[in-house]
Amino acid sequence: MSRANPFGDLDDFGSDNAAKPVPAEAIEKIAESSGFPSRKAGGATVSETASQTGARPSPPPAPQTGRAPRRHVTGRNRQINIKATEETIDALYRIADDMRLPLGAVLEQALMALERQLEE
């Protein structure tokens, strides 16, 4: 006995009206009237396009806050995710920055110091 293929006849689910392609000129005309700048090279700048259409230019990007990315090539290849208070995290980053060490090296030194303290 053979089983019927559940995907054998899916014609009932087909779209009755297929999407018709829109001419590129129509898209460009709509974009221009809506104030969307062209991504083509040599096109008008955002402020020029905005002043022509009466739209306000977009605000400049917000300055990035936080820490600078760290890129250290080390032998460490494991990741650990720890929940901590904001003060603890800030202290860890401050110590790592002051010592100019990656976070993993600071953690290793802190754990070694804690082990020495516990042995005493």
pLDDT digits (tens, 9 = 90+) for 33-47: 988 887 776 655 555
d(CA 13, CA 21): 22
If you search the block for the tokens 């083509």, which residue do you land on? 40
Q: Is residue 41 part of a domain?
A: yes
Q: Is residue 103 part of a domain?
A: yes
What's the rounded Cα separation, in Å, for the pair 32 and 53? 8
Q: How confident is the model at residue 3 (pLDDT cuts 50, 70, 90)?
A: confident
Report the alpha-carbon angle 117-96-81, nearest 5. 80
Whether residue 92 lies inside any domain: the answer is yes
Which residues touch 46 (CB under 8 Å, ≥6 apart)? 37, 57, 58
- Domain's final residue, options 57, 73, 107: 57
The count of domains in the chain is 2
Average pLDDT over every residue of 94-109: 94
| CA angle (57, 59, 65) in 5-degree steps | 165
pLDDT of residue 65: 63
Q: Residue 64 pLDDT > 70, yes or no? A: no
Is pTM beyond 0.95? Reply is no
Domain-located, residue 10: no
Domain with 42, as residue range(s), is 23-57
| pLDDT tens digits, one per residue of 72-98 | 677 778 889 999 999 999 999 999 999
